[in-house]
């Protein structure tokens, strides 16, 4: 592209002057305001999208009529303000040059803000990359004019316009690093790196905090795609040790003779033994690792060595309330096959042992559940309330409005897996975009152990048919 387009900046401007470090707070304020405008733009765009695609277009007004109307509105606006047409780079250069009055710039910002979502969601093609730069340039210019007028400063608009372009681009598209690099690439100037990074990071952070994630991911999820990146490490956080089938723990007295110990190890299906003292407390572990070195000298030491002589005194135990995510990390750290499980309320009470194999099996099961949810998301949108969608003989998926006894409680509290034998594949949220609730949309979210259920939520559950019927009888 450099060969054909040249190595010059697409924008024409004077050398940016960021001022002293005392002016950095102004760029922070600029980033804050750009973030708020980005949020307004995204939410306004969502309202337009759901109005056109969920309320107006389906069966009420033909799409071609909507497109004609929107095109007519854009044409009328463009007749008076031709700068809104096209990519907008020429208009940005005019803003940088200060050749447009602040009233015209304010009008251009408002028109771009209002018309871009109308065009995109009525059936037009395009994106928000160039409009983000355009709106950012306009806002940066207006910000400078406003600060100079109300605070009596004499700021040069160029740097604020360029920084605002990056802040708006990063905020609307939630792409902070890309926004910074793109502004550098398009301007061929790196002298304003500090204020640019400050404003872009603040803008993007505000958008992420308010919208809880990337706008692009949310659009994909609304279309039925489930984005699972980064979730696999949290698969086991919703499961605690007491929900797992524990294996019988092998406890032997510390003074057990070596021949008796070896006999027990040969007969037992377990390969880990735990020694206990007179008080019943575990004092060490014995595995093949401890036995192997003395096998060659067995005849010489069999009458001398007892269990306490060969134990590994490092005992790692877990509580019945620990999360499996934590337990799995312990297995990786200590390279053990199992850990003894104690009662949280009475640490001296040994409940059994949890094996590495069982934890890995549960991880694979949870991963399979996530993959199943991802693959069936679009189909699940068609399931009617409280009806079955059979996925295998004896197993079904069904959708159920949250029962009243579950409202306000978390998935951890209701323990669907333990009490009913059902898995929560996903939760359908109903969100209102207008105050009166007339425009709403359904969002599919991945179950989070700490998520508090609402009365308007719908649970998408998977399990055996008989378990489903039992659950329906208890759901109020």
Query: Which CATH number does the domain housing residue 10 bear?
Result: 1.10.3080.10
- Judgement on whether residues 83 and 46 belong to the same structural domain of the protein: yes
Whether residue 214 lies inside any domain: the answer is: yes
Owning domain of residue 165: 2-222
Burial 107-142 (b: 16+ CB within 10 A, else e): bbbebbbebbbbbbbbeeeeebebbbbbbbbbbbbb
- Judgement on whether residues 191 and 246 belong to the same structural domain of the protein: no
- Judgement on whether residues 182 and 217 belong to the same structural domain of the protein: yes
d(CA 221, CA 216): 9
Q: What is the pLDDT of residue 417?
A: 76
- The pLDDT tens digits for 113-125 are 999 999 988 888 8
Q: What is the pLDDT of residue 27?
A: 95
Whether residue 153 lies inside any domain: the answer is: yes
429: nearest Cα among 401, 410, 389: 401
Q: What is the pLDDT of residue 375?
A: 59
- Judgement on whether residues 17 and 134 belong to the same structural domain of the protein: yes
d(CA 444, CA 459): 10
- Judgement on whether residues 256 and 394 belong to the same structural domain of the protein: no
- Judgement on whether residues 314 and 403 belong to the same structural domain of the protein: no
Backbone φ and ψ for 239, nearest 5 degrees, come out as -120, 130
- The pLDDT tens digits for 5-40 are 777 788 888 878 888 888 899 999 999 999 999 999
d(CA 335, CA 287): 12
Q: Which of 222, 251, 286 is the last residue of a domain?
A: 222
Whether residue 230 lies inside any domain: the answer is: no
Q: What is the pLDDT of residue 33?
A: 97
Q: What is the pLDDT of residue 455?
A: 85
- Judgement on whether residues 321 and 465 belong to the same structural domain of the protein: no
- Judgement on whether residues 42 and 140 belong to the same structural domain of the protein: yes
Instruction: Look at the alpha carbons of 181, 184, 190, 196 in this order and tell me if their dihedral is positive or negative.
Output: negative
Whether residue 369 lies inside any domain: the answer is: no
Whether residue 124 lies inside any domain: the answer is: yes
**Count of Cβ atoms closer than 10 Å to residue 273 Cβ:** 22
Strands 458-464 and 423-432: antiparallel
Contact predicate 341/246, CB 8 Å: yes
Query: Which CATH number does the domain housing residue 469 bear?
Result: 3.30.70.1450
- Judgement on whether residues 136 and 27 belong to the same structural domain of the protein: yes
Contact predicate 109/135, CB 8 Å: yes
Q: Model's pTM, two decimal places?
A: 0.58
- Judgement on whether residues 296 and 151 belong to the same structural domain of the protein: no
**Count of Cβ atoms closer than 10 Å to residue 75 Cβ:** 10
- Judgement on whether residues 451 and 389 belong to the same structural domain of the protein: yes
What's the start-to-end Cα distance of the chain, in Å?
A: 64
Number of domains comprising the chain: 3
Quickly tell me which residue has 């019988």 as its tokens. Answer: 248
Q: What is the pLDDT of residue 223?
A: 60
Whether residue 235 lies inside any domain: the answer is: no
Whether residue 227 lies inside any domain: the answer is: no
Q: What is the pLDDT of residue 198?
A: 96
Q: Where are the alpha helices (DSSP H) in 302-383?
A: 324-334, 356-380
Whether residue 82 lies inside any domain: the answer is: yes
Q: Which of 192, 222, 252 is the last residue of a domain?
A: 222
Successive 10-residue mean pLDDT values, the chain, 476 residues: 76 82 92 96 89 66 86 94 91 92 96 94 86 96 95 91 96 93 88 94 94 73 56 68 89 92 87 90 90 84 90 92 91 90 90 92 78 58 54 78 87 79 80 48 68 85 84 77
- Judgement on whether residues 205 and 248 belong to the same structural domain of the protein: no
Q: Is 424 exposed, middle or buried (0-12, 13-18, 19+ CB in 10 A)?
A: buried
Q: Is 381 exposed, middle or buried (0-12, 13-18, 19+ CB in 10 A)?
A: middle
């Amino acid at each position: 592209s450099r060969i054909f387009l040249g190595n010059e900046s697409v924008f024409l401007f004077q050398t940016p002057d960021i001022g002293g470090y005392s002016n950095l707070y102004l760029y922070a304020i600029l980033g804050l305001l750009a973030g708020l405008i980005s949020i307004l733009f995204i939410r306004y765009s969502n309202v337009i999208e759901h109005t056109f695609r969920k309320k107006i277009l389906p069966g009420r007004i033909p799409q071609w009529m909507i497109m004609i109307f929107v095109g007519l509105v854009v044409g009328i606006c463009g007749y008076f303000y031709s700068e809104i047409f096209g990519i907008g780079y020429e208009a940005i250069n005019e803003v940088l040059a200060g050749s447009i009055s602040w009233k015209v710039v304010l009008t251009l910002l408002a028109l771009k803000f209002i018309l871009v979502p109308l065009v995109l969601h009525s059936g037009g093609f395009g994106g928000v990359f160039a409009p983000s730069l355009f709106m950012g340039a306009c806002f940066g210019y207006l910000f400078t004019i406003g600060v100079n007028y109300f605070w009596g400063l004499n700021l040069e608009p160029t740097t604020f316009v360029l920084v605002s372009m990056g802040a708006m681009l990063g905020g609307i598209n939630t792409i902070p690093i890309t926004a910074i690099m793109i502004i550098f690439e398009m301007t061929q100037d790196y002298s304003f790196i500090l204020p640019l990074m400050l404003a872009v990071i603040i803008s993007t952070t505000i958008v992420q905090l308010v919208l809880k994630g990337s706008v692009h991911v949310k659009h994909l999820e609304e279309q039925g795609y489930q984005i699972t990146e980064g979730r696999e490490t949290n698969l086991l956080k919703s499961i605690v040790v007491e929900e797992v089938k524990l294996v019988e723990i092998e406890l032997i007295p510390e003074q057990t003779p070596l021949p008796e110990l070896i006999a027990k190890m040969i007969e037992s299906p377990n390969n880990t033994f735990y020694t206990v003292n007179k008080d019943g407390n575990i004092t060490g572990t014995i595995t093949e690792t401890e036995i192997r070195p003395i096998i060659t000298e067995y005849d010489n030491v069999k009458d001398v060595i007892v269990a306490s002589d060969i134990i590994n005194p490092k005992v790692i135990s877990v509580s019945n309330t620990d999360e499996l995510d934590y337990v799995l990390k312990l297995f990786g750290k200590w390279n053990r096959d199992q850990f003894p499980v104690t009662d949280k309320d009475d640490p001296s009470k040994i409940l059994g042992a949890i094996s590495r194999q069982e934890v890995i099996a549960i991880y694979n099961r949870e991963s399979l559940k996530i993959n199943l949810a991802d693959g069936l998301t679009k189909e699940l949108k068609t399931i009617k309330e409280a009806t079955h969608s059979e996925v295998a003989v004896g197993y079904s998926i069904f959708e159920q409005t949250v029962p009243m006894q579950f409202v306000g409680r978390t998935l951890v509290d209701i323990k669907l897996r333990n009490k009913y034998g059902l898995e929560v594949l996903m939760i359908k949220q109903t969100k209102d975009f207008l105050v009166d609730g007339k425009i709403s949309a359904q969002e599919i979210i991945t179950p989070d152990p700490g998520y508090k259920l609402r009365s308007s939520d719908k649970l998408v559950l998977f399990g055996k048919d008989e378990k489903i019927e039992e659950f329906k009888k208890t759901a109020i």
